Amino acid sequence: MDQSVTLPDMDPCDRPELARYCGRVRERVSAERFDHIRRVVRLAEAIAVANAFDAAERRATRLAALLHDVARDLPSEELLRLAPPENVVEQGHPLAVHGRAGRAIAVGWGVDDEQVLEAIEGHVFGVSPDNRVGVAVYVADVCEPGRGVNDDIRELAMRDLRAAYELAVASKVRYLRSKGTSIHPATLRVYEQIAHGT
Ligand SMILES: [Fe+2]
Ligand SMILES: [Fe+2]
- The full DSSP string for 47-86 is HHHHTT--HHHHHHHHHHHHHTTTTTTS-HHHHHHHS---
- 120 alpha carbon – ligand 2 mean position (Å): 10
DSSP class of residue 7 equals P
5: pLDDT strictly greater than 80: no
Residue 1 has pLDDT above 70, yes or no: no
**What residue type is 79 in one-letter code?**
L
Q: How far is the CA of 36 from the centre of ligand 2 (A)?
A: 7
Nearest ligand to the C-alpha of residue 74?
1
DSSP 8-state class, residue 15: S
CA-closest candidate to residue 171, choices 138, 196, 146: 138
Question: What is the C-alpha to C-alpha distance for residues 27 and 180, in angstroms, rounded to an integer?
Answer: 36
Cβ–Cβ under 8 Å, residues 142 and 187 = no
Q: How far is the CA of 37 from the centre of ligand 1 (A)?
A: 9
70 CA to centre of ligand 2 in angstroms? 9
pLDDT band for position 4 (cuts 50, 70, 90): low
Model confidence at 198, in pLDDT bands (50, 70, 90)? low
Neighbours of ion ligand 1 (CB under 5 A): 69
**C-alpha–C-alpha distance, residues 41 and 101, integer Å:** 19
Give the Cα separation of 43 and 28 in Å (integer).
22
- Residues 168, 139 contacting (CB under 8 angstroms): yes
Q: For all residues of the chain together, what is the average pLDDT?
A: 93
What pLDDT, in 10s, does the model give residues 41-75? 999 999 999 999 999 999 999 999 999 999 999 99
Cα(28) to ligand 1 centroid in Å equals 13
Which amino acid, residue 4? S
- For 12-195, the fitting CATH number among 1.10.3210.10, 3.40.50.450, 3.10.350.10, 3.40.190.290 is 1.10.3210.10
Q: How far is the CA of 8 from the centre of ligand 1 (A)?
A: 22
- Please tell me the distance between residue 149's alpha carbon and the centre of ligand 1 in angstroms: 16
Q: How far apart are CA 154 and CA 185, in angstroms?
A: 26
The rounded distance, in Å, linking the Cα atoms of 95 and 78 is: 11
pTM flag (> 0.85): yes
**Which 3 state secondary structure label does DSSP give 135?**
helix
Q: What is the pLDDT of residue 3?
A: 47
In this predicted model, what pLDDT tens digit does every residue of 91-142 receive, in sequence order?
888 999 999 999 999 999 999 999 999 999 999 999 999 999 999 999 999 9
Kindly give the distance from the C-alpha atom of residue 69 to the centroid of ligand 2, in angstroms, as a whole number.
5
